Chains A and B, each alone.
Chain A
Amino acid sequence: MGGLTDEELIATSRARPKSSEAFDALDELFRRYFSRVALWCFRLTGDREIAEDLSQEVFARAYENLDSFQGNSRFSTWLYAVTRNHCTNRMKSRAAAPVQFGEGALAHLADVRQLDPQTMLEQAEAVRAVINDALDETEQKVLVLHYGHEFTLDTITRMLGLTNTSGAKAFLVSARRKLTGVIRQHRAVDSRRRR
C-alpha cells in the first residue's frame, strides 16, 4: 500500500468498500496525514490533548465525507479544507467571539447600526487598499485571521509563531491604528456629502 498515491488508495477503498483491503488503504491514507492534521490542531488549540481529540474528529469526519472527494484537487487539499472547517467550527463553539480588546461595551451598545451597502462597499475598498499598501505581511495576516477567520489572538500568535511579548495583539493594534484613520476620513467625507 505504501507505494500507492493518495488517489490510488481512495480508489482501492472505493473498489471494495468495507473489505479488509479498503481498511488497509484508508489506514495508510490517513496515517500519511496524522502529523499534518495534528500540527494544525495543536496550533489552533495549544493543548495536545484537545488537539488529539480534534484530530480524531477530523479523521472521523473525513471518513464520513470521503464520498464528497471528487478528485478536483489533491486529497491533501481536500483534507485541509475538512480540517480547517471542523477546527474552526469546534473552536467557535468552545469559545466566545474573538477577543475584542479596547472595544468597550458602550461602543457595542451605542453603535450597532448597519452601514448602508454602498458606503460599506466604498469604505471596504479603501480599507483593502490600505491593507495592501500600508500593512506589513504580519499585520495583514493577523488582521485577516482575526477578522476574517475569527481566530483568537492566542491562536494567531501560535499559528504565526510570533515571539514578541504581546504576540498577535501588537500587530492587530498597529494594523487597526492605520485602518481606523482611513475609515474615519471616509466617514467624515460621507457625512459632509450627506449634509
Chain B
Amino acid sequence: MENSIDDREIQVIRAAVAATPACLPIEKLCSLLHEPRDSDPQLLAAAHVAACVHCSIELSLLREFEFPQPQAGEEAAVDWIAARLSRDVSARRSCPQIIGRDRDAGRRAWWRAMFTPRFASSTAVAFATVLLLISAILYVRRPMEPRLASSPAAAEVQRSTSIVALGPLGELAQRPATIQWRDAAGASSYRILLMEVDRTALWRADASGSEIAIPERVRSRIVPGKTLLWEVTARSASGSEIGSSGLQRFVLKLNK
C-alpha cells in the first residue's frame, strides 16, 4: 500500500512540479547563469530559483548544457558523434555532389542540403511520382509471404548482399542464445541490430567474430508468436560498411 500511488496522487505531484506563473523564462535563467547577480532583477530571480524546485532543475539542466562535463563512459560516444557530424559537414564542403548519391550522406543532408539548387525539383517530383506508381503496382502484385522455415538451423540463407546469415531464422522452438553468420571477406568488425517488425531497435551490438551471444535481458523480450528481425553489417578496418546480411526474421513458436 505504501508504495502504491494512484492517478490523483500523480496529478497532484505533476501539478506540484509544474511551472507556475512566477517561474522564470529561459532567457532569465540564461541571464542568471551568465551575468553577475548584482542587480535587483537578478537577485529577485535568484531568490525565486532558490525557492522553486521547477526553476532550480531547469537551471541545472541549462547549466549542464552550457558547461558540459561528460562522464568517463560518455566521452567516447560524444567524440564519435561529433566526429560524424563534422565529417558530414566536411564531405559536403569537399564534394557537394555527394548529396543524393551516397545513401549515408543523403540521409545526413541536413542544413546544407536545404541549400541545394531547386532547379531539378519538378523533374524530381515527376520521377518520384513514377517511382511511387511502380511501388504501388509492385505492392499490389506482391507474392504472399513465404512460410517460415521450420528447421532453420540447417539452412543457410544467402541474400543478395555478402554476408551469409546462419541463424536464428524461421520458426524456433526455443529462444535463440546467439546470432550467427558467416565471415565476410575483408570484414574487421560486424554490427548486429535486432529489431521489432516495425524496425524499432531492440538491441545493437558490435562483434569481431561471426557469432554473438544475445544478452539475457534481450532474450527475455523474445516472446512466442512475435516475429523479430535482425541484420548484420560488416565493416572494414576503416569503418566503412562493406556488406550486409539483409533483414532476417525469426519467431518463437507459440506453445500449444
Contact = CB atoms under 8 A, between A and B. Distances in A.
Interface residues of A, number: 74
A168 interface: no
A144 B56 CA distance: 10
Given A56-B108, A102-B5, A35 B13 contact: no
Contacts, number: 180
A60 B77 contact: no
B65 A115 contact: no
Interface stretch (B80-88, B129-137, B171-179, B240-248): B80-88
A94 B196 CA distance: 13
A139 B54 CA distance: 13
A51 B77 contact: yes
B56 to A, nearest CB: 8
A81 B81 contact: no
A111 B6 contact: yes
A39 B3 contact: no
Interface stretch (B66-74, B152-160, B219-227): B66-74
A35 B14 contact: no
Interface in B201-233: 201, 204
B17 A148 contact: yes
Contact of B13 (A36, A112, A121, A179): A179
Contact of A73 (B3, B5, B26, B56): B26
Contacts of A132: 51, 53
Interface in A151-195: 159, 161, 173, 176-177, 179-180, 183
B81 A143 contact: no
B11 A60 contact: no
Contacts of A112: 7
B10 interface: yes
A42 B17 contact: no
> What is the size category of the interface that chain B forms with chain A?
35 or more
Given A59-B111, A80-B62, A111-B6, A131 B17 contact: yes
Interface string B12-30: 1111111000000011011
B89 interface: yes
A169 to B, nearest CB: 11
Contact of B57 (A72, A100, A113, A141): A141
Contacts of B3: 102, 173, 176-177
Contact of A115 (B12, B18, B79): B12
A118 to B, nearest CB: 12
Contacts of B54: 144, 148
B68 A36 contact: yes
A34 B81 contact: yes
8 closest A-B pairs by CB = A63-B111, A38-B81, A124-B15, A127-B16, A77-B30, A34-B82, A148-B17, A60-B110
Given A50-B201, A177-B3, 18 more contacts: A23-B112, A30-B111, A31-B86, A35-B68, A36-B66, A39-B68, A51-B77, A52-B80, A73-B31, A80-B65, A103-B4, A114-B11, A120-B12, A127-B13, A131-B16, A143-B17, A144-B54, A180-B2
Interface of A: 18, 23, 26-27, 30-31, 34-36, 38-43, 47-52, 55-57, 59-60, 62-64, 72-74, 76-77, 80-81, 83-84, 94, 100, 102-104, 107-108, 111-115, 120-121, 123-125, 127-128, 131-132, 140-141, 143-145, 147-148, 159, 161, 173, 176-177, 179-180, 183
